[in-house]
Structure 1
Amino acid sequence: MRWDWLFVRRNNGPMTPPVSILLPSEVLLSGPAPHALRLGLLAPLSGLLGVAGPAIINCAILAGEEIARATETVLELVLVDAGGMPETVAREVDLLVGAGLVNGLVGTHTSNVRVAVEARVADRVPYVFTPPHDFSRASAGSVFLGSDPKEHLRQPIAWLARNRRITRWALIGSDYVWPRQVHRAATTVLRELGQRIVLDRLVPMGQVDTAELVAATRHAGADAILVSLVGRDGIEFHRGVTELDAGQSFLRLCTALDENCLIAVGGDSSGELYSAMPTFLQQGDDRHLRLLESYVARFGLTAPLPGSYAEGCYDGVHVLAALCLSGLLATNSAASAAEQLFAASTGIPRDGSELGFDLSRHPMRLARANDTDLEIVGMPSGV
């Protein structure tokens, strides 16, 4: 694994950052840091979501620097590769938590890793999980920032059914925690909207056979595919659809496709590839534009694109730091403390101004691929 891009970013940025990026081996050797706020950053540097890892880490650094400046806190991020096998990641996190080396965890990774980490951490430190999540909420120490499957699906599917005259759906996803929940939620949502499911397939991770899936979809007579193949598997599927010249055979609605993944696909110009995510680079609200301006000023125009996963991690670092600095954890679980923060706060001051990091649920937005861009076609709730 190469770490050189990270250290170049740390040492040669536009300013000396008030945030340190540490590896688990470093903190295991050095021991606790009583005068610093030390947060475990669980980010995918390999595996299914590895393509989004560099942007996720950049956004974590950006958030950490804002927090350090605003609160005059020494802040350290302990970087754990969350792209490995769930139990391997969980054991590494368990070592950090058990030795008292981190004050909390923020994770932007797959749900199977979250389940394993929760089981090991067992509420000993707050754990902020930022991507869309499955329905289970077994731990009072966990804070979920993303949407659940029904929140994620209902409005985008309704918009497409109404505006694209879709009636017959194939469900194709990865065979692990979150896509299974997506399929269950989709079954309910589609039936409520008068839609029909003609194919339901969960694919073992790393074993995507695009030609077979396309043939099965055509044989079933589907108008559209709900794709919940995650990260690298989704990239391979969409590449394969283009190579098979099947891009216009059916509409594809994705639940885990951001701009970095679309670039890795090589773009798509079929006009039939859609993504439902809480944020996209091209949205024009003031809060999002300020975040992009800060990101470009810090990392430059050639940095990895800060897509929805990365922006979620940005919010997650802010939320975790706010929890740790608030004093609420002394008498409340992380989930209860977060609810109090969500009700009371709109953001942490940044350089005397209000950046306004988001503590509320993002409404789902729907975008269509145009080459390597995701162009918003509407917020389904308002269309």
Structure 2
Amino acid sequence: MAELVLSSEVRLAADPSELLALFGSGDPSLGWLFGSEAEALAPGALVRLALPIGEGSRVHGTARVMSCTPVRRIDLVHESPWFGHVACHLDPLRSGGTRLRIRVSIDDREFTRLGADLGLLCGGDAEGWEVPLGLLTSLSGSAGILGRSTVNCAQLAVEEINADGGVAGRDVRLMVADDATDPGTGVVAMRRLCGVSGIAAVAGMHSSATYSATSPIAVALGIPYLYTPTSEVVPTHPLLIHFGERPLDQLHRALPLLAEVTGGSRWFLAGNDYSWPRAIGMAAREVIERMGGTVSGEGYVPLGTEDFTPVISAIGERGTDHVVSSFVGQDHVRFESEFSSSGLRSTTRTFAPLMDDAVVEHLGESAAGIWNALGYFVGMDSAENRAFLRRYSDRFGECAPPVSAAAEGVYEAVHTWATACRSGGGTDPSSLLSGLRTSTYRGPRRCGTGGSLESLLLGEATPAGVRVIDELPVAAPA
């Protein structure tokens, strides 16, 4: 397989051991690699990067440590905003100091995707003997921290489907596009996916802000749209197929249980300022008022916010017992980190509808005690989940990003799509919709016919990951 390779070399006065000690310090003056943030240099450890993309501009990215040879070399796997490898060589100089060599490589398929996302290259079509299946997800922007595990889970599902004979006698080929956590970018990416010859369906794991902009495209072109994350979305057309948790599913039993634990009654609603967090706020207010509690305040901020001081100050000033925190991706990580640093975590309990294993990894100890209710957590105790996690680890290695609830939801949606197509007798929309009415795919989640959730898991963040503490029913239909 071909690859794009970028190399750079610089001579520095510090010796290799001094430079290695700087890795993960988070000091941006030390360049994009040594300005990274990391807790350790152990294989699989998360690395957060601020990547230069222009004069004075930086984009947030993530990587994993593959290996580290003391005082000589660090190898990373890039996860976002693109997939690739970084090799950092630290060569001591006889005259003192270090020759630092950095080699960045991106394979040809990822390079083609990046070029297509930027409008510079054609994204390519599937071969005539393949069934193209699109995946629109966030590989960059605020929600980019969930992107790589989402692509991994979709790819794993496709490979398992193909190993089982494919769909309608043909292999499935995954076509990936990035919405960059931006609705406008999502529209361009969706049009490109829908323009792939013979595209059978598009799976979407992105914000409902993007969904509002892209779902009309799928309907207009007659392409099934499998929307997988937790959201407020109510399908308005048979081709718009929803798999994720709804606000009341997550809140109607969990918030009363949290109030029973704390004995508190005052709630603050905080989140990003678009339709899904606002819907979470509306549902939370309904549940809180029904159980006799009080909403002490609300605070919503734009996606990409980096300073949450005004919201956190308001929470502290209102004598709040609980926070319903509906932030997304990097915003979620920043808010919860600042909230924990403020000292409020010890007196105020948080319910966060997007808190899962991937977010907890980014937060570390500052996540401890946060609750959420989702269809999936890594720690769910079932034979199906243990087998799924083994297959994921075997396929992508011990240094792969942990499975998130969002990523596992895509895995099940892709399998559900294939099962329905087989049941319906083809990959056209009518066959898919017919198969969804009668077929069931049994994965780690508690799902019924057509992928509908039968129950949710109540989880609590701990330093070791999310601990499953109960199983809750979904909300009864209105």
Q: Structure 1 42/330 Cα, relative in aligned 2: closer, same or farther at 3 Å?
A: closer
One of 459, 462, 466 as aligned partner of 1:370: 462
Query: Counterpart amino acid of 1:253?
Result: F
Letter in 1 for 2:143: L
Higher strand share: 2
Change (3 A) 1:135 1:113: closer
For residue 157 of structure 1, what is the amino acid of its counterpart? Answer: L
2:186 corresponds to which letter in structure 1? V
Letter paired with 1:3: F
Structure 2 unmatched ranges of 5 or more? 1-80, 87-104
| Bigger mean CA deviation after superposition, 283-292 or 252-261 | 283-292
The amino acid of 1:255's aligned partner reads: P
Counterpart for residue 278 of structure 1: 375
1:102 and 2:196 are equivalent in the alignment: no
Query: Which residue in the other structure is 2:84 paired with?
Result: 4
Paired residue secondary structure (1:255): coil
Q: How does 1:347-362 map to 2 (within 5 A)?
A: 347=442, 358=447, 359-362=451-454
Does the residue aligned with 1:302 lie in a helix, a strand or coil? coil
Structure 1: 5+ residue runs without aligned partners? 12-18, 348-353
Query: May I ask how many residue pairs the two structures share in their alignment?
Result: 365
C-alpha distance in 1 between matches for 2:178 and 2:212: 16
What residue in structure 1 maps to residue 163 of structure 2?
69
The residue that corresponds to 1:226 in the other structure is: 324
State how far apart, in whole Å, the 1-side matches of 2:351 and 2:445 are. Answer: 30
Counterparts of residues 115-264 of structure 1 (less than 5 Å): 115-122=212-219, 124-264=222-362
Structure 1 pair 234–206 and aligned structure 2 pair: CA distance change class (3 A): same
- Separation (CA, whole Å) in 2 of partners of 1:112 and 1:368: 28
Distance 1:60 1:29, change over 3 A: closer
Do the aligned partners of residues 256 and 338 (structure 1) sit closer, same or farther apart at CA in structure 2, a change above 3 Å counting? farther
Give distance in 1, aligned partners of 2:333 and 2:267: 20
CA distance in 2, matches of 1:22, 1:40: 15
Q: Give the deviation of 1:330 after TM superposition.
A: 5.0
Letter in 1 for 2:401: P
SS of equivalent to 2:150: helix
Q: What is the distance in 2 between the residues matched to 1:52 and 1:371? A: 19
Distance 1:155 1:259 in 2: 21
Secondary structure at the aligned position of 2:153 is classed as helix
Q: Check 1:329–1:317 CA distance in 2 against 1; reply closer, same or farther (3 A cut).
A: closer
- 1:14 alignment partner in structure 2: none
Query: 2-side partners of 1:314 and 1:116: how far apart?
Result: 24
Which of 177, 183, 189 pairs up with 1:80?
Answer: 177
Q: CA deviation at 1:39?
A: 0.5
Amino acid aligned to 2:83? W
Deviations, residues 271-315 of structure 1 (Å, cap 9, x unaligned)? 532222221111102222221121122222221101211100101
Cα deviation code 1:231-284 (max 9, x no counterpart): 111100011112222221200110001111111123336x53222222111110
CA 1:151/1:84 → structure 2, altered by over 3 Å: closer, same or farther? closer
Aligned to 1:345: 440
Superposed CA deviations along residues 47-73 of structure 1, whole A, max 9, x for unmatched, are: 121111111111111101110011243
Letter in 2 for 1:55: S
The yes-or-no answer on 1:40 pairing with 2:134 is yes
The answer to whether the 8 Å contact 2:142/2:330 transfers is yes
Please give the alpha-carbon distance, in whole angstroms, between the structure 2 residues aligned to 1:281 and 1:296.
12
Distance 1:240 1:10 in 2: 37
Cα 1:356–1:222, aligned 2, differ >3 Å: closer, same or farther? closer
Q: Is the 8 A contact 2:194 2:223 kept in 1?
A: yes
Compared CA separation, residues 321 and 21, structure 1 to 2 (3 A)? farther
Q: Which residue type is aligned with residue 360 of structure 1?
A: S
Deviations along 1:107-159, one digit per CA (max 9) or x if unpaired, are: 11111111111022225111101111214322321111112111121111121
Higher deviation after alignment, 82-91 or 108-117: 82-91
The CA distance in 2 between the partners of 1:195 and 1:179, in whole Å, is 20
Letter in 1 for 2:397: G
| Percent identity of paired positions between Structure 1 and Structure 2 | 23
CA contact (8 A) 2:379 2:468 kept: yes
Which residue in the other structure is 2:417 paired with? 320
- 133-142 or 321-330, larger mean C-alpha shift: 321-330
**TM-score for both structures, normalised by structure 1:** 0.85
Shift of 1:338: 6.0
Helix, strand or coil at the partner of 1:173: strand
Taking the TM superposition and a 5 Å limit, the aligned residue runs for 1:281-320 are 281-320=378-417
Q: Residues 20 and 36 of structure 1: is their aligned pair in 2 closer, same or farther, counting only changes over 3 Å?
A: farther
Deviation at 1:205, TM superposition (A): 1.4
| 1:188-239 superposed Cα distances (whole Å, 9 cap, x missing partner) | 1111122211112221112253322222012222100000011111100011
Q: Deviations over 1:67-96 (max 9, x none)?
A: 001124322111101224212221222133
Contact 1:143/1:338 (<8 A) preserved: no
Q: 1:356 & 1:207 partners in 2: Cα distance?
A: 33
TM-score (norm 2): 0.69
**Matched residue, 1:58:** 152
Greater C-alpha radius of gyration: 2
State the AA in 2 paired with 1:116. A
Query: Relative contact order (alpha carbons < 8 A, sep ≥ 6): 1 or 2 greater?
Result: 1
**CA displacement 1:156-189 (0-9 Å, x = unmatched):** 1121122332311000011112111111111111
Q: Tell me the distance in 2 between the aligned counterparts of 1:36 and 1:132.
A: 30
